[in-house]
Amino acid sequence: MFVALKTRKCCVIGDPIAHSMSPAIWSAAFKELGMNDCAYTPMQVKKDELKKKMNEFRSADFVGVNVTVPHKVEVLKFLDEVDALAKKIGAVNTVKNEGGKLKGFNTDGFGALEALKQNGVQLNGKNVLLLGAGGAARAITFTLLQEEKIKLSILNDDERAFQLQKELNGFFDAGVQAGLLNEANLKLFVSRADILINATPVGMHPNEGKSIVPKKLLRKKLVVFDIVYNPLETLLLKDAREVGCKTVSGELMLVYQAVKAFELFFGKTPPAKKMHAVVLMELKKK
């Protein structure tokens, strides 16, 4: 007798959501692993619908939910438990259904860390300069300081750089430095950095012609990581490549945050290379 498999459901929620590449990435992983009983769908969820939707995700057929803007902070109100790192970051991008209880995680920082490692970048003891102090910057800085022994500096165009500095030093006693993102500070901090991470949206489509760091400040021994992934090569990365820097592109962070979420949901490692290939294919369509 033929018995239909019960579908194990996963989804990504946000508003808007049509642009998300997560369904293509996860569906490719399911196909590669022969997980024919799994499905991944995008769901547009308005702010006033979030509580109701999160309660629906407690049902037995839902494995987990990925969360994107603008719900990464608001979703915390509707969870039963939050992972210690996600609690420090103050945002969640991954929610696992554990027998009807919802547990939140943040895999964005892991994605960034793994993107660097996959490119052979050694972090231990290095001077890391991070530009930005928004949600992505918070996830990256908390994760880097939890996992690696680095000397961290943060520049941002408002007071959030100093707020983030205070939080990080409170949790990790790490001697984090901070400053306003201006020409003088860029010149000073870039000259001392081993690794530069752009965690701002500068250079993102449709503003491909902009870079947050003047080309003249870049030098050959610097590692430059731009978390922007559309376009695949931002002006910052193009300038860095021409100067002779080692460059790391942003789509790898997207891939590896999904890899970590997949491991949390299913307890197995998905095919990262296949997922990366799908991301590259989707981005080339844009």
Tell which CATH architecture fits domain 8-106+252-285: 3-Layer(aba) Sandwich (3.40)
CA distance 14 to 92: 12
Tell me, yes or no, if the two domains 8-106+252-285 and 109-249 fold the same way. Answer: yes
84-94 per-position pLDDT tens digit: 999 999 999 99
Instruction: Judge contact between 205 and 181, C-beta under 8 A.
Output: no
Please choose, from the candidates 258, 264, 262, 260, the residue with its C-alpha nearest in 3D space to the C-alpha of residue 278: 258
pLDDT score for 5: 64
210-229 per-position pLDDT tens digit: 999 999 999 999 999 999 99
pLDDT score for 26: 98
Domain boundaries, the chain: 8-106+252-285, 109-249
Return left, alpha or beta for 282; rule: phi > 0 is left, psi -120 to 50 is alpha, else beta.
alpha
The stretch 54-66 carries a mean pLDDT of 97
The stretch 154-162 carries a mean pLDDT of 97
List the catalytic residues: 72
CA distance 252 to 11: 20
pLDDT score for 285: 81
Contacts 24+ apart (CB under 8 A), 136-139: 136/108, 136/112, 136/199, 136/227, 137/164, 137/199, 137/200, 138/89, 138/90, 138/91, 138/164, 139/89, 139/91, 139/93, 139/106, 139/108, 139/109, 139/112
CA distance 65 to 69: 13
226-261 per-position pLDDT tens digit: 999 999 999 999 999 999 999 999 999 999 999 999
Sign of CA dihedral 149, 153, 142, 64: negative
Tokens 């290939």 belong to which residue? Answer: 277
pLDDT score for 6: 87
Instruction: Judge contact between 141 and 171, C-beta under 8 A.
Output: no
For residue 134, the tally of other CB atoms under 10 A from its CB is 14
Instruction: Indicate whether 209 pLDDT > 70.
Output: yes
Quickly name the fold that domain 109-249 has.
Rossmann fold (3.40.50)
